[in-house]
Structure 1
Amino acid sequence: MTQPDTAASGLTIQRLVKQYGETYALKDVSLEIPAGSFTTLLGPSGSGKTTLLMSIAGFTRPETGRILAGGRDITGLPPEKREFGMVFQGYALFPHLTVAGNVGFALKLRRRSRSEIATRVAAALDLVQLSHLADRYPRQLSGGQQQRVALARALVFEPGVLLLDEPLSALDKSLRADLQWELKALHARLGVTFVYVTHDQEEALSMSDQIAIIRAGEVVQSGAPAELYDRPKTHFIADFLGRSNYVEGTVARRDGRPVIEAAGQLVPVPECAAVPAAGRPAILAIRPEKITVRPDDGQGPGLPGRLSAWSYLGATISCRVATDLGEFHVHLPTWQAAFEPQPGQALRLDWPPEAGRIVRDDR
């Protein structure tokens, strides 16, 4: 397939509002989706991510706000005039049409010539590696093959924007992981702007250039996956995107450095603009994999605790450690574990100040 003519089309969402009765599905949402990016809309069920995708597609009409594609206002255009590709959660294949018939359906609607349809369908099926199944019907395909047909159908008319509504959610875990790699590679080859909806945090982290985290109809933070994971702004983001441990207390300064006083402990925090003034409350978030654990010999720095539970996960050991600051979750690489877990074992936890992140309380 050739590079789409509209491949440079980025999207600009400006102050979108959508209400259903008294409930806001979208609440003043603004977002930049760069041209050619793989942008994921991530959030829990009912957060508004699918409403935002359907507004971009044209199936949902917002009360106020604008949607721009390549700088052109498309807010009032019907879906068929937007020329966006769409992959639905259930694939929505026509059972009475063959694979080739399904893929070519959008071109027939556009009254393309028979020869052009044949050429484009062949190219689209080759792109998703299904040329050998062109004459089969959807009922004769696996879930993964049906997903590829839906992709080919969405790409056959060479859109500049591809919208994907949880397209992998119905697949088993191993197949989903394989298709994540394939989708990412397909995006890199085509240069099309992908807008992808999911509630799966690992899926979003592994596939995206940009993630917009949506909660209760609002974009609470957007950015590159590493930025959101390592520098979450709020308690919700730190907890939703992965798992975090929390230290809650009062900010103080010791030896010129900021610390949090909590339960008789002084916990170092990173020097950054987010640290509140001395005497103010603060929450420090620490990722489980950034904490080191060793048997407690009563010597050296660190937070003392006792092992309350653990799980062997193959590559890692997941531990729960009871401390005066509450229960901590710790993930250890199995091959580097410095101890063999025993019930009630005395341990000491430690982490560098840079491992923590001050987050805003939005619970």
Structure 2
Amino acid sequence: MTETQAPSGVMIQRVVKQYGETYALKDVSLDIPAGSFTTLLGPSGSGKTTLLMSIAGFTRPDAGRILANGRDIIAMPPEKREFGMVFQGYALFPHLTVAGNVAFALKLRRRPRAEVQERVKRALDLVQLGHLADRYPRQLSGGQQQRVALARALVFEPQVLLLDEPLSALDKSLRADLQWELKALHARLGLTFVYVTHDQEEALSMSDQIAIIRGGEVVQSGAPSALYERPKTHFIASFLGRSNYVEGRVSGRNGTPAVVAGPHVLDLPPGADIPAEGNPVILAIRPEKIAVTVDSGSGPGLPGCLTAWSYLGASVTCRVATDLGEFHVQLPTWQAAFEPREGQALRLHWPPDAGCIVRDDR
């Protein structure tokens, strides 16, 4: 919990967890660098919480290794790992005060009274709850209870902090505030955070590294911007936000690479891993990377018709019907180039590097 404390890295090597015929984790390998904010992201039932519980020691994998600072901890009980844990449901003791809840782990370790008092004070100050030390959980808001749970996990100065969807029970505005606070706390302490969520925006905004889990497997990991801008598969592109898809065949493999889709020939992104000429290909384009002009009857761009639109304050989302299917376009409302009107004839434009080739894993 001090700024000078050395964090621990965690390395997961070919971890398997099976329940009957079902694999909760299927040969999972992941490097969690020391001091990183790594998020395990995936839909419900994907295996992300099983992986977190395996790191914590509450679930014993059937195969593989989990290393902390190079030491295999897979046979080590949870209390010996000295990892902090923050649960979704807070798990506070209702009969103990805020200070009593935070002190609980230290008293179990039989720490001296003066040390307990000092550490509890430091932990509560860290989460800005020092003035509420004598209150009981029932007297606190949801956000304050979550801060108590966080202080309790930090009070014994763990090298790794594990967080299992800690903000999911909070309302949207409070959740956004605590996201900022958690990110600032991570930057201040420099601990290794391993965070589980199914919320894509939360993962993108908070993390240094995201591991996307599907069906018990890590399907792609990396920096948030890399996963959002260059997803490897159709699933990842769809899971990390909306995308538009153009399906066709590669043309001009030895010249300017393009995809032929119906009557249209669209440039493929330069430097991409492009299949051989004639092979099928899927091009994904994010809605905010598409520009729109009012159709004057001819000219460049993909022609379409505005079928619906939704005002979102800072932006407007448009649905545009084209002969390549329906496109979603997100445009800033400030100084917009045109006023949306249902039935309006439009043309869609995007540069070649706005698209990304994705593998079909639907």
Both proteins in one fold, TM over 0.5: yes
**Structure 1 length as normaliser, TM-score?**
0.98
The amino acid that maps onto 2:95 is H
* Deviation digits for residues 13-60 of structure 1 (CA, Å, limit 9, x no counterpart): 000000011000000000000000000000000000000000000000
Q: Give me the whole-angstrom Cα distance separating, in 2, the residues matched to 1:284 and 1:334.
A: 27
Match in the other structure for 1:20: 19
Write the deviation string for residues 168-199 of structure 1: whole angstroms up to 9, x where unpaired. 00000000000000000000000000000000
Residue 267 of structure 1: how far off its partner (Å): 1.2
Q: Is the 8 A contact 2:66 2:73 kept in 1?
A: yes
1:216-272 deviation line (CA, Å, top 9, x unaligned): 000000000000000100000000001100000111018921111112111111123
Contact 1:17 1:28 in 2 (8 A): yes
Distance in structure 2 (CA, Å) of the matches to 1:215 and 1:83: 29
In the TM superposition, what whole-angstrom CA distance separates every residue of 1:265-314 from its partner, at most 9, and x where no partner exists?
11111123421111000000000000000100123210000001100000
2:308–2:342 Cα contact (<8 Å) kept:
yes
TM superposition score normalised by structure 2: 0.99
Report the equivalent of 2:174: 175
Q: Distance in 1 between matches of 2:108 and 2:132?
A: 23
Q: Work out whether residues 221 and 233 of structure 1, in 8 Å CA contact, stay in contact via their aligned partners in 2.
A: yes
For 2:176, the aligned partner's letter is A
Note if contact 1:58-1:75 (Cα within 8 Å) is conserved in structure 2.
yes
Counterparts of 2:335 and 2:253, CA distance in 1: 33
Residue 120 (structure 1) shift? 0.2
Equivalent residues of 2:253, 2:277 under 8 A apart: no
Task: Name the SS of the counterpart of 2:236 in structure 1.
Answer: helix
1: distance between equivalents of 2:253 and 2:346?
Answer: 25
Could you tell me which residue of structure 2 aligns to residue 8 of structure 1? 7
Q: Report whether the alignment pairs 1:162 with 2:161.
A: yes
State the alpha-carbon separation in 2 of the partners of residues 210 and 112 from structure 1. Answer: 35
Out of 334-343 and 181-190, give the one that drifted further: 334-343
CA contact (8 A) 1:121 1:156 kept: yes
Partner of 1:250: 249
State the alpha-carbon separation in 2 of the partners of residues 143 and 188 from structure 1. 24
Distance 1:126 1:186 in 2: 12
Secondary structure of the corresponding residue to residue 175 of structure 2: helix
Q: Which runs of structure 2 are paired with 1:330-345 in the superposition (5 Å)? A: 330-345=329-344
- Contact preservation (8 Å) 2:253, 2:276: no
How many aligned residue pairs are there?
A: 362
| Partner of residue 50, structure 2 | 51
- Counterparts of 2:352 and 2:49, CA distance in 1: 38
Name stretches of at least 5 consecutive residues in structure 1 with no aligned partner: none
Q: Secondary structure at the match of 1:9?
A: coil
Over the matched positions of the two proteins, sequence identity in percent amounts to: 81
Equivalent pair of 2:102/2:149 in contact (CA under 8 Å): yes
Aligned 1:1-363 pairs, distance under 5 A: 2-3=2-3, 5=5, 7-253=6-252, 256-363=255-362
Q: Which amino acid letter does the alignment assign opposite residue 139 of structure 1?
A: R
Equivalent AA in structure 1 for residue 337 of structure 2? A
1:14 touches 1:29 (CA, 8 Å); kept in 2? yes
| Paired letter, 1:163 | L
Go from structure 1 to structure 2 and tell me whether the alpha carbon gap of 1:29 and 1:89 turns closer, same or farther (over 3 Å shift): same
SS in 2 for 1:76: coil
Unaligned residue ranges in structure 2 (runs of 5+): none
